[in-house]
Protein backbone atom coordinates (compact mmCIF):
# COMPACT_ATOMS: atom_id res chain seq x y z
CA UNK A 1 0.00 0.00 0.00
CA UNK A 2 1.43 3.25 -1.13
CA UNK A 3 1.09 6.37 0.96
CA UNK A 4 1.24 10.07 0.26
CA UNK A 5 0.88 9.67 -3.49
CA UNK A 6 -2.20 11.86 -3.93
CA UNK A 7 -2.62 15.60 -3.64
CA UNK A 8 -6.20 16.82 -3.76
CA UNK A 9 -7.77 20.22 -3.95
CA UNK A 10 -11.56 20.67 -3.92
CA UNK A 11 -12.71 24.20 -4.55
CA UNK A 12 -16.33 25.31 -4.32
CA UNK A 13 -17.40 28.01 -6.77
CA UNK A 14 -21.11 28.83 -6.97
CA UNK A 15 -22.86 25.46 -6.73
CA UNK A 16 -20.11 23.54 -8.43
CA UNK A 17 -17.06 21.96 -6.81
CA UNK A 18 -13.93 21.48 -8.87
CA UNK A 19 -11.78 18.57 -7.74
CA UNK A 20 -8.16 18.53 -8.86
CA UNK A 21 -5.98 15.57 -8.04
CA UNK A 22 -2.30 14.99 -8.68
CA UNK A 23 -0.91 11.48 -8.31
CA UNK A 24 2.62 10.20 -8.00
CA UNK A 25 2.96 7.11 -10.16
CA UNK A 26 5.41 5.84 -12.80
CA UNK A 27 2.70 4.86 -15.31
CA UNK A 28 5.03 2.48 -17.18
CA UNK A 29 3.58 1.55 -20.56
CA UNK A 30 5.21 -1.86 -20.87
CA UNK A 31 6.61 -0.74 -24.25
CA UNK A 32 9.80 0.90 -23.02
CA UNK A 33 13.07 -0.99 -22.96
CA UNK A 34 15.73 -0.85 -20.30
CA UNK A 35 18.68 0.81 -22.04
CA UNK A 36 21.36 -1.36 -20.40
CA UNK A 37 19.78 -4.82 -20.57
CA UNK A 38 17.55 -4.31 -23.61
CA UNK A 39 14.69 -5.97 -21.79
CA UNK A 40 11.21 -4.57 -21.70
CA UNK A 41 10.16 -2.76 -18.55
CA UNK A 42 6.89 -4.36 -17.44
CA UNK A 43 3.75 -2.24 -17.48
CA UNK A 44 2.90 -0.59 -14.16
CA UNK A 45 0.03 1.85 -14.24
CA UNK A 46 -3.00 3.11 -12.34
CA UNK A 47 -6.07 1.34 -13.68
CA UNK A 48 -8.79 3.00 -11.78
CA UNK A 49 -9.39 6.20 -9.83
CA UNK A 50 -12.53 6.67 -7.75
CA UNK A 51 -13.80 9.76 -6.01
CA UNK A 52 -16.31 9.86 -3.18
CA UNK A 53 -18.17 12.83 -1.74
CA UNK A 54 -19.17 12.25 1.91
CA UNK A 55 -18.93 8.51 1.32
CA UNK A 56 -20.94 8.44 -1.93
CA UNK A 57 -19.24 7.48 -5.16
CA UNK A 58 -19.45 10.37 -7.63
CA UNK A 59 -16.76 9.73 -10.22
CA UNK A 60 -14.75 6.81 -11.60
CA UNK A 61 -11.93 7.04 -14.09
CA UNK A 62 -10.58 3.97 -15.82
CA UNK A 63 -7.12 4.54 -17.20
CA UNK A 64 -4.86 2.88 -19.72
CA UNK A 65 -1.06 3.00 -19.87
CA UNK A 66 -1.32 6.11 -22.02
CA UNK A 67 -2.07 8.44 -19.13
CA UNK A 68 1.03 10.54 -18.41
CA UNK A 69 3.50 9.78 -15.64
CA UNK A 70 2.50 11.43 -12.36
CA UNK A 71 -1.09 11.80 -13.58
CA UNK A 72 -3.37 14.77 -13.20
CA UNK A 73 -7.15 14.57 -13.08
CA UNK A 74 -9.81 17.19 -12.69
CA UNK A 75 -13.60 17.16 -12.76
CA UNK A 76 -16.54 19.14 -11.38
CA UNK A 77 -19.60 18.09 -9.44
CA UNK A 78 -22.63 19.69 -7.83
CA UNK A 79 -24.17 19.32 -4.39
CA UNK A 80 -21.19 19.79 -2.08
CA UNK A 81 -20.91 22.34 0.72
CA UNK A 82 -17.85 23.85 2.34
CA UNK A 83 -16.22 21.42 4.77
CA UNK A 84 -17.54 18.29 3.03
CA UNK A 85 -15.13 15.42 2.59
CA UNK A 86 -13.83 14.39 -0.80
CA UNK A 87 -11.96 11.10 -0.97
CA UNK A 88 -9.86 10.02 -3.94
CA UNK A 89 -8.45 6.49 -4.29
CA UNK A 90 -6.51 4.61 -6.94
CA UNK A 91 -5.71 0.98 -7.75
CA UNK A 92 -2.91 -0.02 -10.10
CA UNK A 93 -2.34 -3.14 -12.19
CA UNK A 94 -0.13 -4.70 -9.50
CA UNK A 95 -2.90 -4.36 -6.94
CA UNK A 96 -1.23 -1.50 -5.10
CA UNK A 97 -3.57 1.18 -3.83
CA UNK A 98 -3.69 4.52 -2.03
CA UNK A 99 -6.36 6.96 -0.97
CA UNK A 100 -6.47 10.44 0.44
CA UNK A 101 -9.10 12.90 1.60
CA UNK A 102 -9.57 16.65 1.44
CA UNK A 103 -12.13 19.16 2.67
CA UNK A 104 -14.13 21.21 0.19
CA UNK A 105 -12.83 24.78 0.45
Assess contact for 49 and 61: CB atoms under 8 A: yes
CB of 68 to another protein, least distance (A): 4
Binds another protein (CB under 8 A): choice among 24, 78, 81, 103? 78
Cα four-point dihedral sign 22, 28, 32, 34: positive
Binds another protein (CB under 8 A): choice among 42, 72, 82, 101? 72
Residue 86 in the binding site for another protein (CB under 8 A): no
d(CA 30, CA 79): 40
Assess contact for 56 and 78: CB atoms under 8 A: no
Residues in the site for another protein, rule: CB under 8 A? 16, 27, 29, 31-33, 47-48, 50, 52-53, 57-69, 71-79, 91, 95-97
Amino acid sequence: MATGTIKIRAQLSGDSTEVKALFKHDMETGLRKDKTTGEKIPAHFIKEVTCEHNGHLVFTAKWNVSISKDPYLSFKFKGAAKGDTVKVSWVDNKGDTDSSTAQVA
